[in-house]
C-alpha cells in the first residue's frame, strides 16, 4: 500500500515538474532550444540591439537563414520593417536597428502561431510614434490601482542591485512594439526628480535602451518649491523656470535619450499652474521649453475636474478647448478614452477632435480598476477598439479617434498612445493569466490599430497556451464576449460609476457620500428616482451632448436615436420606457444583469472542458478566478436590481434567477482594500 502510494505520488510529480507553468513566460514561449546556428544569421555591425536580435534568432528561430539589413531608404517606415523571402532566406530590413528587432519578433510570432514563413512579403509601420505604458508605481513600492503585487522597480536596491526582471520586462514590451515607459505614478512624488533617484532611473534606462524603450517620468508640478526651495512653483517665475531648465540638463546628462514628462496638474488635489492663476498651457509650455533642446516631450493630462456644479463629464472639454493653439509643438494632450474615468463603458471623450491645433493622444487603462481588477477575466481589446473606431465627426464623417490621434487627419504632429499598466512583481506579472492578454493587446494595437480583436486574441492564445483548435476557438469566444459580459453584470445600458468608493471593486449604487464632493458618489451618476434612471446630459440636463460634433449631438441628445448601450449615460429614462425590443426599461435592465451572470456561468462550463489541453497550474488558477467572477457577478446583479427596485417598484421578471442576497446585507459589505476615492 505504502509503495503504491509512493508510486502514485511520483507519477503525478513527474508531469508537474516538466509542465509546471506559472505564467512568468508570458506569450514569449518560443521553443527553448535549437535555434539556427550563427552562420545562418547574416548581419553587419555589433550594437546591443543587433546582438539581442541575433540572440533571439539563435535561441528560438528554427527556419531558414535570416538576413538583417538596415537601409536608409526605409526611414519613412519609422520603427517599422519589411520581411521578404528572397531565394532561400528571409530578409528583414528596416530604417533603424530597432525595426530589425521588431522584425525578428514578428517572424518568431509567425513560427509560434504556426503561420507559414514561406514567400513572406510584409511591410509594417507603426500607427503611433510613442507607444507608452504608464506605471502608477510609487517610490515606496506600492502601486496605485495595481493588482499584481508590488512594483517591479526596486528603488531601494537600485542603482547597485539590478533585478533580472527589468530586462525581461523590456523584452516583453519590445516583442509587441511598446517603445516607451513612464516609470512612476501620475500622482507623482517630487522626490522622483531628486538626484539619487535619477541615478537609479538611469540604470533602468540603460537596460531598456537596447530594446528600443525610452524612459519618461511623471512629475509633480510643485517640484521646484519642494526640492529647489524656490519661493513658489509659478510657471512664470524666472527662478522656477531656471530650476526646470537645470533639472532637464541634469536628466539628459544621465539619460541622453530621456523621453520627457507626464503631468497630472490641478486634478484631484495635485498642484498645478492654476494655483498661481496660470493656465494649463502656461504650465505645459514651461516644461516643453526646457525639454525642447533635447527632443523631449510633455504629455499633459486632460483628466481635470474640480468640485464645481458642472457635470464632471464636461469639464476636460471646457478647460482645454479655449487653450487650443496655445501649446508648444512638443506638448501632447493625454485624454482618457471616456470623459469620466475608465468605466466598463463610456461614451468617448468629446475632447477628441475638438483640439484642432494641439496633438491629442488616448490614455487607456490596462489595469482593470473598474473591471474586476485581477479577479475577472475581461479582454480589453474590444473596449480599446470601440474607442479608436468611434467617429468624432470633427472633420466630417470618418474622423475616428484613431485617425485624429495617429496623424492621418492632423498630420505633422507627434503621435502617441498610452495605457496604464497592469504589471507588478507577481510571478505571472499581471495577477490573472488572462490579464496578460490586455498588456499584449495594448501593445499590438499601439503598433497597428487596424488589427481586429479576434486576430489579437487568436495570436495571444496560440502563443500563450496552445494552438489546438479545441482550445483556441472556445477560449477566443470567451475573450471576445468578456467585455460586454462585464458591462452587463456591472453597468449595462450606459450606467456608470456605481462602484463602492475607494477600491472600485464591488457595487455600491446606494453610495451617497454626504459632505464629500457629489461627483464621487454613485447616486450622482445614476440619478435613480420614482420616475426613472439615468443622467440627463441632453439640453434639458447638463447639455454635455452639445460638446459632440453634429450629428452626434443630435443622435445622442434624442432618446429615440441614442444608442441603447449609452442610453442612461445621456438620458434620464422612465422605468416604463419602451426599448427597441419592446421590453420596458426596467425589464431590460433586469435581463441585462441576468445575462451577464449567465455568461460567466457559461465561461465556467467552457473553461472546465479545457483541462486536457493545457497545464494544470494555469488551468486551475483560471478556474478559481472564474469562480470569484461568477460570485461577484451575482453580487453585482443582486445589489443593483434590489436597490434600483426600491425606486422602480416593479417585479424582477419571473423567468430570471431570483436574487440570493438581501439588500441590507449587501449594503453592509465593506471591503478594506485601502485606496483613496
- Residues classed as catalytic: 268, 341, 369
Shortest distance, position 431 Cβ to ligand BDP, whole Å: 17
Q: Alpha helix locations (H) across 343-468?
A: 381-388, 401-405, 436-447, 453-464
Shortest distance, position 346 Cβ to ligand BDP, whole Å: 12
Q: Which is nearer to ligand BDP, 540 or 677 (CB)?
A: 677
Q: Which is nearer to ligand BDP, 109 or 264 (CB)?
A: 264
369 binding ligand BDP? (CB under 6 A): yes
Q: Give the separation between CA 417 and CA 130, rounded to whole angstroms.
A: 6
Residue 303 phi/psi, 5-degree rounding, is -80, 75
Shortest distance, position 338 Cβ to ligand BDP, whole Å: 11
Q: Which three cell numbers stand for residue 141?
A: 513600492
303 binding ligand BDP? (CB under 6 A): yes
Strand partners, 182: 134, 216
Q: Which residues, at least 6 apart from 55, have a Cβ–Cβ distance to it below 8 Å?
A: none
Q: Which is nearer to ligand BDP, 117 or 266 (CB)?
A: 266
Q: Which three cell numbers stand for residue 243?
A: 530650476
- Give the residue nearest to ligand BDP (CB): 341
264 binding ligand BDP? (CB under 6 A): yes
Strand 130-134 relative to strand 416-420: parallel, antiparallel, unpaired? parallel
Residues 231-260 that bind ligand BDP (CB under 6 A): none
Q: Which residues, at least 6 apart from 116, have a Cβ–Cβ distance to it below 8 Å?
A: 110
508 binding ligand BDP? (CB under 6 A): no
Contact with ligand BDP (CB under 6 A) among 341, 346, 428, 587: 341
Shortest distance, position 667 Cβ to ligand BDP, whole Å: 22
Q: Which residues, at least 6 apart from 601, have a Cβ–Cβ distance to it below 8 Å?
A: 630
Q: Give the separation between CA 102 and CA 81, rounded to whole angstroms.
A: 8
Shortest distance, position 335 Cβ to ligand BDP, whole Å: 11
Q: Which is nearer to ligand BDP, 261 or 465 (CB)?
A: 261
211 binding ligand BDP? (CB under 6 A): no
Residues 175-194 that bind ligand BDP (CB under 6 A): 186-187
3-state secondary structure of 418: strand
145 binding ligand BDP? (CB under 6 A): yes
Query: From residue 48 to residue 77, what is the string marking binding to ligand BDP with x (rule CB under 6 A)?
Result: ------------------------------
Q: Which is nearer to ligand BDP, 151 or 241 (CB)?
A: 151
Q: Which residues, at least 6 apart from 563, have a Cβ–Cβ distance to it below 8 Å?
A: 555
Query: Taking the mean position of all CA atoms in its chain, how far away is CA 242?
Result: 35
3-state secondary structure of 78: coil
Q: Which is nearer to ligand BDP, 346 or 536 (CB)?
A: 346
Q: State the burial class of residue 664 (Cβ atoms within 10 Å of its Cβ: 0-12, 13-18, 19+).
A: exposed
144 binding ligand BDP? (CB under 6 A): yes
Q: Kind and range of the H or E element at 218?
A: strand 214-218
Q: Which is nearer to ligand BDP, 141 or 659 (CB)?
A: 141
Q: Which is nearer to ligand BDP, 144 or 257 (CB)?
A: 144
Strand partners, 181: 133, 215
CA quadruple 623, 626, 628, 631: dihedral sign? negative
Residue corresponding to grid cell 472564474: 626
Q: Which residues, at least 6 apart from 578, have a Cβ–Cβ distance to it below 8 Å?
A: 584
Strand 81-86 relative to strand 89-94: parallel, antiparallel, unpaired? antiparallel
Q: Under rule CB under 6 A, how many of the chain's residues touch ligand BDP?
A: 11
Query: From residue 75 to residue 114, what is the string marking binding to ligand BDP with x (rule CB under 6 A)?
Result: ----------------------------------------
Shortest distance, position 598 Cβ to ligand BDP, whole Å: 29
Q: State the burial class of residue 212 (Cβ atoms within 10 Å of its Cβ: 0-12, 13-18, 19+).
A: buried
Q: Which residues bind ligand BDP (CB under 6 A)?
A: 144-145, 186-187, 264, 268, 303, 341-342, 369, 677
Amino acid at each position: 500500500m505504502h509503495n503504491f502510494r509512493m508510486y502514485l505520488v511520483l507519477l503525478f510529480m513527474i508531469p508537474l515538474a516538466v509542465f509546471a507553468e506559472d505564467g512568468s513566460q508570458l506569450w514569449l514561449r518560443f521553443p527553448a532550444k535549437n535555434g539556427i546556428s550563427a552562420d545562418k544569421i547574416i548581419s553587419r555591425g555589433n550594437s546591443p540591439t543587433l546582438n539581442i536580435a541575433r540572440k533571439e534568432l539563435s535561441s528560438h528561430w528554427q527556419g531558414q537563414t535570416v538576413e538583417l539589413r538596415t537601409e536608409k531608404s526605409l526611414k519613412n517606415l519609422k520603427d517599422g520593417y519589411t520581411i521578404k523571402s528572397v531565394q532561400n532566406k528571409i530578409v528583414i530590413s528596416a530604417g533603424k536597428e530597432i525595426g530589425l528587432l521588431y522584425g525578428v519578433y514578428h517572424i518568431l510570432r509567425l513560427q509560434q502561431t504556426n503561420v507559414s514563413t514561406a514567400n513572406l512579403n510584409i511591410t509594417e509601420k507603426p500607427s503611433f510614434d510613442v507607444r507608452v505604458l504608464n506605471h502608477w508605481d510609487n517610490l515606496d513600492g506600492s502601486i496605485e490601482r495595481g493588482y499584481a503585487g508590488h512594483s517591479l522597480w526596486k528603488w531601494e536596491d537600485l542603482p547597485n542591485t539590478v533585478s533580472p526582471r527589468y530586462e525581461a520586462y523590456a523584452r516583453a514590451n519590445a516583442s509587441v512594439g511598446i517603445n516607451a515607459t513612464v516609470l512612476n505614478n501620475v500622482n507623482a512624488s517630487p522626490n522622483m526628480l531628486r538626484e539619487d533617484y535619477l541615478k537609479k532611473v538611469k540604470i533602468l534606462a540603460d537596460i531598456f535602451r537596447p530594446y528600443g524603450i525610452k524612459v519618461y517620468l511623471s512629475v509633480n508640478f510643485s517640484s521646484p518649491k519642494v526640492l529647489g526651495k524656490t519661493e513658489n512653483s509659478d510657471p512664470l517665475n524666472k527662478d522656477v523656470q531656471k530650476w526646470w531648465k537645470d533639472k532637464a540638463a541634469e536628466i539628459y546628462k544621465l539619460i541622453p535619450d530621456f523621453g520627457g514628462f507626464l503631468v497630472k496638474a490641478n486634478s484631484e488635489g495635485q498642484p498645478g499652474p492654476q494655483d498661481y492663476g496660470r493656465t494649463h498651457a502656461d504650465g505645459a509650455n514651461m516644461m516643453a521649453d526646457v525639454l525642447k533642446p533635447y527632443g523631449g516631450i510633455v504629455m499633459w493630462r486632460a483628466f481635470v475636474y474640480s468640485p464645481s456644479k458642472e457635470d464632471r463629464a464636461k469639464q476636460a472639454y471646457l478647460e482645454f478647448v479655449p487653450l487650443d493653439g496655445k501649446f508648444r509643438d512638443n506638448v501632447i494632450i493625454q485624454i482618457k478614452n471616456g470623459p469620466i474615468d475608465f468605466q466598463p463603458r463610456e461614451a468617448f471623450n468629446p475632447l477628441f477632435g475638438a483640439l484642432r491645433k494641439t496633438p491629442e493622444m488616448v490614455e487607456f487603462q490596462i489595469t482593470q480598476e473598474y473591471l474586476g481588477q485581477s479577479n475577472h477575466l475581461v479582454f480589453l481589446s474590444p473596449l480599446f477598439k470601440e474607442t479608436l473606431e468611434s467617429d468624432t465627426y470633427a472633420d466630417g464623417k470618418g474622423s475616428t479617434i484613431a485617425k485624429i490621434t495617429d496623424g492621418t487627419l492632423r498630420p505633422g504632429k507627434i503621435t502617441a498612445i498610452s495605457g496604464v499598466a497592469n504589471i507588478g512583481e507577481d510571478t505571472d506579472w499581471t495577477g490573472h493569466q488572462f490579464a496578460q492578454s490586455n498588456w499584449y493587446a495594448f501593445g499590438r494595437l499601439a503598433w497597428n490599430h487596424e488589427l481586429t480583436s479576434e486576430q489579437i486574441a487568436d495570436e495571444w492564445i496560440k502563443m500563450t497556451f496552445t494552438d489546438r483548435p479545441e482550445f483556441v476557438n472556445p477560449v477566443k469566444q470567451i475573450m471576445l464576449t468578456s467585455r460586454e459580459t462585464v458591462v452587463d453584470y456591472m453597468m449595462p445600458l450606459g450606467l456608470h460609476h456605481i462602484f463602492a468608493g475607494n477600491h472600485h471593486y464591488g457595487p455600491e449604487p446606494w453610495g451617497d457620500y454626504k459632505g464629500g464632493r457629489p461627483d464621487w458618489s454613485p447616486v450622482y451618476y445614476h440619478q435613480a428616482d420614482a420616475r426613472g434612471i439615468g443622467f440627463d446630459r441632453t439640453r434639458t440636463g447638463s447639455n454635455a451632448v452639445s460638446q459632440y460634433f453634429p450629428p452626434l449631438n443630435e443622435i445622442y441628445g434624442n432618446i429615440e436615436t441614442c444608442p441603447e448601450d449609452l442610453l442612461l449615460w445621456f438620458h434620464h429614462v422612465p422605468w416604463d420606457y419602451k426599448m427597441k425590443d419592446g421590453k420596458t426599461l426596467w425589464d431590460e435592465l433586469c435581463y441585462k444583469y441576468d445575462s451577464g451572470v449567465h455568461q460567466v456561468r457559461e465561461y465556467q462550463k467552457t473553461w472546465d472542458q479545457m483541462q486536457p489541453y493545457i497545464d494544470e497550474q494555469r488551468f486551475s488558477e483560471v478556474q478559481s478566478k472564474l469562480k470569484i467572477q461568477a460570485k461577484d457577478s451575482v453580487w453585482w446583479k443582486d445589489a443593483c436590481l434590489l436597490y434600483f427596485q426600491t425606486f422602480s417598484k416593479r417585479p424582477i421578471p419571473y423567468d430570471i434567477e431570483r436574487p440570493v442576497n438581501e439588500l441590507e446585507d449587501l449594503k453592509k459589505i465593506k471591503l478594506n482594500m485601502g485606496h483613496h476615492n
